Amino acid sequence: MSVLKSTLDTASEQFTDATEAMNTKLAEIDTEHSKALLGGGEKYVERHKKRGKLLARERIELLIDEDSAFLELCPLAAWGSEFPVGASTVMGIGVVSGVECLIVANDPTVRGGASNPWTLKKGFRANDIATQNRLPVISLVESGGADLPTQKEVFIPGGRMFRDLTQLSAKGIPTIALVFGNSTAGGAYIPGMSDHVVMVKERSKVFLAGPPLVKMATGEDSDDESLGGAEMHARKSGLADYFAVDEQDAIRIGRSIVERLNWKKKGPEPRADVIEPLADPEDLLGIVPTDLKIPFDPREVIARIVDGSDFDEFKPMYGSSLVTGWAELHGYPIGILANARGVLFSEESQKATQFIQLANRSNTPLLFLHNTTGYMVGKEYEEGGMIKHGSMMINAVSNSTVPHISILLGASYGAGHYGMCGRAFDPRFLFAWPSSKSAVMGGAQLAGVISIVGRAAAEARGQAFDEEADAGLRAMIENQIEAESLPMFLSGRLYDDGVIDPRDTRTVVGMCLSAIASAPIEGTDTFGVFRM
């Protein structure tokens, strides 16, 4: 046992300021989350209820096991876009009949549940999560198909939705569609491509073309029910495997389908006797300073998220601006890489590479805690082989096959974001704290670089440099980069799986580790050629 002892000064001004700033940011995030909860707004929610239908979240609540938690993912998708926050779907991991499943529910109160470009991105993310972690997929379908005004962004990439579903099935990952309403045109392939299909009496409407289009195409007169109703599909076409009398019945049938899957997890069982962290998770609110240039000790975070605050540090005296070590979280073994003083040097990169190799030898998932401004720059470091050492770390992260989880605590800039398993490196899950920022570099630095380049270009042309215009441009660029570095903006673009309350980190990572254990956990010996 190597129990971490907290030295956090919770009475300090820095801690108080950071806590206050974090609470303000959490309130802002809550406001945005509540927009997603509102779906298409009061008018459409009321109309939906009046029709005797359950809302997307109510369907999920009834589907998952009583009193079990639902890990909602990407709730801020489409934030900052022309489309409502949430991207007209609710997506996440929930336990159904004792089985962790990936659940995707259309929100029919948002533009008829039609799929816009962000809905697609969220759907693709859902399929990736299901594939990588071997999670059965349950689609709660009620959608007007492609968002017609933006069809040019939806139609061609949208085909992947159906390809993914059938490929999941080919991998032996069950796919279940509960069709609560409209599932027109492309949407008809969701039940078409699913292993198990439940339709609801007088509610489900599944057809390649609705009555008006059929009339136009062939002159044939038809109505919704005879063309694509549940009864027709259950009796005649055979597309419906189960005929539910109402929504609740469809959910009951969905639960019993999962029960009969005989699904077994292939990863390790967690240790049964889990000790909670000894340090208080409430303090996580005040650890990241408001000024991200001020370093903080990530051991203070680790002490508040791992079992018994027990952390077996690896190479503590070498490459000390990256903390590496072994721990357990909710009984699952993990290796942790956490930035300590922002910059990554050659030693840190080499240490990380060795650590990642060791985790692969022992089939141990890795948790990356980001607070990095990137790899060190400057003559001395270039000569010391910074590029090849940073590349070594990125090579190890890229080829490592144990599951990775990334949490952005503070800064996540430049290639440091890559080396710490940023989004492009396919961590199984990536979450951001409200205090985090991610970009190619900080706003001030980026604006400064553009200014230096502009000045040099003016000099080369023999022109006078317009200082006033430059100052205005710098301020504008800095503000823009700052805004684009914020977690809400990045979450809107699905560059993370959600912005979380720091106090929930242990629970969220624990749920992810449990979902990850649905698939086998297997490390590798095969990496790209390391430049020594």
Binding interface with ligand COA (CB under 6 A)? 111-112, 114, 144-148, 182, 184-186, 210
Rounded Cα distance, 329 and 272, in Å: 11
The tokens describing 371, both together, are: 């607070």
Identify the H or E element spanning 252: helix 247-259
- CB nearer to ligand COA: give 41 or 520: 41
Structure tokens at 464: 């006078």
For 432, the enclosing helix (H) or strand (E) is: strand 429-432
Contact 412, 433 (CB under 8 A): no
> In whole angstroms, what is the distance from residue 207 CA to residue 184 CA?
5
Q: From CA 138, how far away is CA 268, in angstroms rounded?
A: 24
Give the nearest distance from C-beta 80 to ligand COA in angstroms.
Answer: 20
Name the DSSP letter for residue 78. T
In the complex with ligand COA, the residue whose CB is nearer, 47 or 293, is 47
Q: Which is nearer to ligand COA, 113 or 319 (CB)?
A: 113
CA 97 to chain centre: 24
Query: Least CB distance from residue 181 to ligand COA, whole Å?
Result: 7
d(CA 20, CA 487): 18
42 or 382: whose CB is closer to ligand COA?
42
Q: Which of 129, 528, 532, 531 is nearest to 357 (CA)?
A: 528
Taking the least distance from each CB to ligand COA, the nearer of 184 and 395 is 184
Nearer to ligand COA, 127 or 204 (CB): 204
Q: Which is nearer to ligand COA, 115 or 354 (CB)?
A: 115
Do 364 and 332 contact (CB within 8 A), yes or no? Answer: no
Residue 56 C-beta: closest distance to ligand COA, Å: 13
What residues contact 334, with CB distance under 8 A and at least 6 apart? 306, 326, 327, 328, 364, 365, 366, 367, 513
Identify the residue whose tokens are 């948002």.
110
Kind and range of the H or E element at 374? Answer: strand 366-375
- How many other C-beta atoms lie within 10 A of the C-beta of residue 146? 23
Provide, rounded to whole angstroms, the least separation between the CB of residue 185 and ligand COA: 3
For the CB of residue 425, give the shortest distance to ligand COA in the complex, in Å: 34
Q: Which is nearer to ligand COA, 189 or 332 (CB)?
A: 189
Nearest distance in Å: CB 116, ligand COA: 8
Q: Are 167 and 130 in contact (CB under 8 A)?
A: no
- Cβ closest to ligand COA, residue 210 vs residue 434: 210
Instruction: Give the shortest CB-101-to-ligand COA separation in angstroms.
Output: 26
DSSP at 235: I
Structural tokens at position 269:
């069982």
Tokens, residue 84: 């409502």
Q: Which is nearer to ligand COA, 199 or 302 (CB)?
A: 199
Closer to ligand COA by CB, 146 or 253: give it. 146
- Return the structure tokens found at 295: 């370093």
Six token digits for residue 173: 């990952």
Please say whether the beta carbons of 207 and 165 come within 8 A. no
Q: Which residue has the tokens 């080829």?
A: 399
CB of 74 to ligand COA, least distance (A): 21
Smallest gap from Cβ 223 to ligand COA, in A, equals 13
Nearer to ligand COA by C-beta: 229 or 374? 229
Q: Compute the least distance from the CB of residue 144 to ligand COA, in Å.
A: 3
Q: What is the C-alpha to C-alpha distance for residues 233 and 198, in angstroms, rounded to an integer? A: 10
Q: Is 520 helix (H, G, I), strand (E, B) or coil?
A: coil
CB of 201 to ligand COA, least distance (A): 17
Asked whether 78 and 492 are in contact (CB, 8 A), the reply is: yes
- State the nearest-atom distance from the C-beta of 52 to ligand COA, in Å: 13
